[in-house]
């Protein structure tokens, strides 16, 4: 014979009621963050491990590449004076003169002026754009003395080592800016 159990509240369910089966508690707020945090941690570990493996196994990457990124600031070394070449007039150095003032005739006038001082002048032309300052460009460090000599001859202008005008036939390129002493 079957055992008889006492009746309780679950025995009196109305037919067609909405509640059926096992009922779960509502999800806690922020419960989706925990799986995301674990996934982010796993991704970070894998990336760091992969980069570390590449550094160890690759000959092209070394820890020295990363030293500049993570280097602590160091005390500035005492400034040592940079050796500069003495200004010289070098007639063997050809000087191209470019007018960047926006006025007409400046390249010719400045070219004639430096030719009278012993410089060999190449092309005299207008620059493609205007400039506020006058620059003397040289492409080889051995020409620094000649560039300084040209600046001294003019009485104005800054010298710059650059390969910007290296394709020209001249050793020096004078770009006369709007600070031209006229």
Residues 28-73: pLDDT tens digits? Answer: 777 778 888 999 999 999 999 988 888 778 766 666 666 666 666 6
> pTM score, two decimals?
0.53
Lowest pLDDT segment from 21-35, 94-108, 144-158: 21-35
pLDDT above 80 for 137: yes
**Averaged over 96-123, what is the pLDDT?**
87
CA-angle at 137, arms to 133 and 139, nearest 5°: 160
Residues sharing a CB contact under 8 Å with residue 140, sequence separation 6 or more, in sequence order: 171
Q: What pLDDT, on the 0 to 100 scale, is given for residue 47?
A: 94
Q: How many separate helices (H) and strands (E) can be counted in the chain?
A: 4, 5
> What pLDDT band is residue 179 in, cutting at 50, 70 and 90?
confident
Q: What is the pLDDT of residue 70?
A: 64
Region 119-134: mean pLDDT is 86
Q: Which helix (H) or strand (E) holds 31?
A: none
Determine the average pLDDT of the residues in 131-154: 86
Cα separation, 135 vs 150, in Å, equals 10
Place of tokens 């430096």: 114
Q: Report how far apart, in Å, the C-alpha atoms of 106 and of each of 78, 150, 175 are.
A: 43, 16, 11
Specify the pLDDT at position 16: 59
176 has pLDDT over 80: yes
Confidence (pLDDT) at 41: 96
- Average pLDDT score, the chain: 78
pLDDT at 49: 92
DSSP letter assigned to residue 102: S
Cβ atoms 107, 99 nearer than 8 A: yes
Give the sign of the dihedral formed by CA 180, CA 114, CA 89, CA 141. positive
């Amino acid at each position: 014979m079957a055992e008889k159990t006492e009746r309780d509240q679950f025995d009196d369910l109305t037919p067609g009621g909405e509640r059926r089966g096992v009922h779960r508690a509502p999800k806690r707020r922020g419960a989706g963050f925990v799986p995301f945090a674990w996934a982010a941690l796993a991704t970070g570990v894998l990336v760091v491990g992969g980069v570390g493996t590449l550094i160890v196994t690759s000959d092209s990457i070394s820890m020295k590449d990363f030293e500049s990124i993570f280097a602590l600031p160091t005390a500035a070394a005492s400034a040592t004076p940079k050796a500069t070449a003495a200004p010289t007039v070098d007639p063997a150095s050809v000087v191209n003169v470019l007018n960047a003032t926006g006025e007409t005739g400046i390249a010719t006038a400045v070219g004639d002026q430096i030719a009278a001082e012993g410089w060999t002048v190449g092309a005299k032309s207008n620059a493609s754009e205007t400039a506020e300052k006058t620059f003397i460009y040289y492409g080889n460090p051995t020409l620094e003395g000649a560039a300084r000599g040209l600046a001294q001859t003019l009485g104005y202008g800054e010298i710059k080592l650059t390969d910007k005008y290296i394709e020209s036939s001249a050793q020096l390129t004078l770009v006369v800016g709007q600070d031209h002493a006229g």
